[in-house]
Every structure is written in C-alpha cells, then in structure tokens.
C-alpha cells in the first residue's frame, strides 16, 4: 500500500462540490448563463505582451533560473518606484514568481519551523485558502482570523491576543481583498507593521489586485516601511493587472534577507518562469496604458452591477477595488441564494466557499462582458419581480 500525506488527506474535498456540479450542469445546458464565479476575466492579453512572448521563443530552450532575468527584476523594481514610490534593489530585493499562487503557497516552506513553538500562520477568513494550505503542508498551523463587515474585512493585529501572536511566525494580509474587494490605507499597514515588529512576525502582503481599483490607487505594505523593508514581503502578479492568468508571472519584493532565503528555496521547487514568459512579463510591467484601459472596462461592469444591487435594496459591502462585488445574501443564507440564482442562470460564489467568515455573503466576479452584465441584472430583476429569489 502506497503511503499518503495525512495533512493532505485531512484537507478533504470542496465542501460546495454539489453546488459546483449544478453550476457545471447549467454551463453545459442550453439556457443563457451569466458566469460570475471564477476570478478569471475574458478580456484578452494586450497584443504587445503576446508579441514579446512569441519574439522570445528561440530555437534553443534552456532552463530558466529561479532568480530570474535581471531585466525582469529591474522592470518590477521600476514599477514599484513609479506606482508606489518604493525603492527596491532589483539584485537583492526582488525575485520573480510563476504567478503569486505558488509564491504564496511556498513561502511557509522557507519560514516555518515545523517543530518550533511559533509555527502558526495568521490570515483572514473569508480569504484566499492557499494561505492556510501552504502553512499546513509546510508543517505549520493555519490560524484563520475571522474578518467582519464591521471591521471593514481587514485583519487587525492590534485586536489579537498577545499569546496568539506569540505562537505565530507570520501573517498574511491581502488588500485589495479577495473575496470582499475591501481596501486598506497606509495607516492600516503602518499599524500592522508596528505589531509585527513588536512581536517578530513577518508581514506578508498579497497585493495581486493592486492595479484593479476605482477611486484611488491602493498603497503597498512596502510604502509603510519608510525604506527599511525588514520583515515585510509584498507579492505582486501580472494575472489581474495585465490579463495574464495563463502566463503565470508575478514577483516577491521586500526584505533582502528573506529574498535571499527564497532564492535558496526556490531552485528546489522548479517554478522558475520560462524565459519567454519573463520576456512578456518585462513588456507588461513596463507598460501602464493597458492597465488603465482594463481598469476602465471593469469600472463599467462594476457600475452596472453595483447600480442594480443598490436599486434592488441588496446590501453591498467592501467592493471598493478588485473585480469582485460582495453582497449580503437576501434571506441570510448565501448557499440558498446562490442556488436560487443558479436557477435563473446566474452563477455566483457563496461566501462560505472562502471560509466560515463568508457565511451570509456572496461574491460576484465581474467576468461577463458589459453586455453580459446588463443581461444578467435584467434576468436577476425579472426573477425578483417574479418572486423566484429569497428576500
Ligand atoms: C488573493 C489572491 N492571491 C493570489 C492569487 C493567485 O493569483 P496568481 O497566481 O494568478 O497571481 C489569487 C487568484 O485568484 C487571489 O485571489
């Protein structure tokens, strides 16, 4: 009998698998489907980025390095300087990743001492489940902190008991936030960093939605360090910024000692991006115009959906940035509301899919086109008028 990893076995399957099957049936059926479930919009990758990739495919293919091409690290550092006013040494404070998911997952492997007494990893629930999974599979303990509407869906370390902090080695924060779309200002990062420094915690900031904003550009945690990035890492990605989910390209930036540790770990992992992907990434980080154009597309879709929810008297929370809209389930049960929406062809994610803290809320990913969003809200309104949805 082949052995298995008990940590993996204990993770179990998707608790909403039944709901997903129904959604898949609906997708495969004949009727109109408005799919707001998966955070992977249809907008194309800009042509110059695709071209940069194709131009870089040479006759010989070599192993890429985990440290990445100096030009890519330079492009990331330049972007941090332009966008955030943050200074980074591309040689020591930046390392590319194959998207942020693997980088988020692998970080605890470089940090967690599986037999030590500080092996808890704090993260916000509802949230991106990989923070907890990465901690567990590295031999650490996932320690989710419940986020709330009243708390602005922000993980607040100043409100956490000292002994809980003493068991932790790191905390994940994520703004703009998946699934709620909540943002955080610079004061928030300063407060959290002060707690992290007092209690020797790494502040790991997942900033993959940094460029999808509507009112004002959200800050990076690295802006709160006043130039001394010790104990802080920011995780950025081209997936959402540049419509490059399929390319798998991002970067980790910040504390030079931690970046050095990641450069020791990551060659073992084998996630270095192919050189032609790195070439496309350089083109993407250097250009801002396509990012502004994408933001305008999401803004138009968001206006349609937010306008409808407000007119329908459905409470919206968070939703200041990202391409997610987060709303309270009429009737209180997010799964029941998602099932009822499914019956009228609208696929939304029940909040509980992102952890127990999401109970009672739902997430819409602004994936359909503007026209699709308009048709979806018309179908939704018709279902409300026909009394087909919980109130
Ligand atoms: C909060 C959050 N972090 C990280 C990721 C991973 O993104 P990628 O690996 O495409 O950069 C996602 C993807 O949806 C996400 O929602």
100 alpha carbon to ligand 1 midpoint, in Å? Answer: 6
| Ligand 1 cavity residues, CB under 6 Å | 39, 99-101, 104, 128, 174, 178, 206, 208, 237, 239, 245, 250
- Return the pLDDT at 373: 97
Q: Is the confidence at residue 310, as pLDDT, over 80?
A: yes
Q: Where are the domains of the chain?
A: 6-45+290-385, 60-287
On whether the pTM is more than 0.75, the answer is yes
Q: Is the confidence at residue 109, as pLDDT, over 80?
A: yes
The CATH label, of 3.90.1150.10, 3.40.50.880, 3.30.390.10, 2.40.110.10, for the domain at 6-45+290-385 is 3.90.1150.10
> Which ligand 1 atom is at minimum distance from the Cα of 127?
1
The CATH code that applies to domain 60-287 is 3.40.640.10
| Nearest residue to 365 via CA among 26, 22, 43, 19 | 43
Q: Is the confidence at residue 32, as pLDDT, over 90?
A: no
Residue 21: pLDDT band (50, 70, 90) is confident
Gap between the Cα atoms of 281 and 75, Å rounded: 9
Residue 31: pLDDT band (50, 70, 90) is confident
Residues 6+ apart with CB under 8 A from 314: 327, 328, 330
- Return the pLDDT at 30: 83
Distance of CA 235 to the CA centre of its chain: 10
| Residue to substitute in 103, 106, 239, 281 for testing ligand 1 pocket (most ligand atoms within 8 angstroms of CB) | 239
Q: Could you give phi then psi for residue 127, rounded to 5 degrees?
A: -175, -175
- Return the pLDDT at 120: 98
- Return the pLDDT at 186: 98
């Amino acid at each position: 009998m082949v052995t298995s990893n008990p940590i993996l076995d204990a993770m179990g399957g998707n608790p909403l698998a039944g709901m997903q099957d129904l959604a898949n049936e609906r997708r495969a059926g004949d009727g109109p489907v408005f799919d707001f479930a998966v955070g992977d919009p249809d907008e194309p990758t800009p042509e110059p980025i695709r071209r940069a990739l194709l131009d870089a495919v040479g006759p010989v293919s070599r192993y890429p390095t985990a440290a990445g091409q100096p030009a890519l690290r330079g492009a990331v550092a330049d972007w941090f300087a332009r966008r955030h006013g943050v200074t980074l040494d591309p040689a020591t404070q930046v390392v590319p990743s194959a998207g942020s998911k693997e980088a988020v997952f692998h970080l605890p492997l470089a940090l967690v001492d599986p037999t030590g007494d500080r092996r808890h990893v704090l993260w916000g629930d509802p949230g991106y489940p990989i923070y907890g999974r990465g901690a567990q599979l590295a031999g650490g303990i996932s320690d989710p902190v419940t986020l709330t509407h009243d708390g602005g869906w922000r993980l607040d370390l100043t409100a956490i008991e000292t002994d809980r902090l003493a068991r932790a080695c790191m905390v994940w924060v994520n703004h703009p936030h998946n699934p709620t779309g909540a943002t955080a200002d610079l004061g928030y990062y300063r407060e959290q960093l002060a707690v992290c420094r007092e209690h020797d915690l790494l502040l790991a900031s997942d900033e993959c939605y940094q460029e999808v904003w509507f009112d004002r550009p959200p800050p990076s945690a690295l802006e709160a360090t006043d130039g001394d990035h010790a104990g802080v890492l920011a995780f950025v990605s081209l997936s959402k910024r540049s419509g490059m989910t399929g390319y798998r390209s991002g970067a980790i930036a910040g504390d030079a000692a931690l970046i050095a540790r990641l450069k020791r770990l990551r060659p073992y992992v084998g996630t270095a991006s192919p050189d032609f992907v790195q070439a496309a990434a350089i083109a993407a980080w250097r250009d801002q115009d396509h990012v502004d154009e994408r933001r305008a597309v999401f803004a138009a879709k968001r206006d349609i959906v937010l306008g409808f929810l407000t007119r329908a008297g459905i409470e919206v929370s968070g939703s200041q940035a990202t391409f997610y809209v987060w709303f309270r389930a009429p009737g209180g049960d997010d799964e029941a509301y998602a099932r009822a929406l499914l019956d009228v062809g609208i696929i939304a994610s029940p909040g509980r899919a992102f952890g127990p803290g999401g109970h009672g809320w739902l997430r819409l990913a602004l994936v359909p086109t503007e026209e699709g969003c308009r048709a979806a809200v018309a179908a939704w309104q018709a279902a409300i008028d026909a009394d087909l949805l919980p109130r």
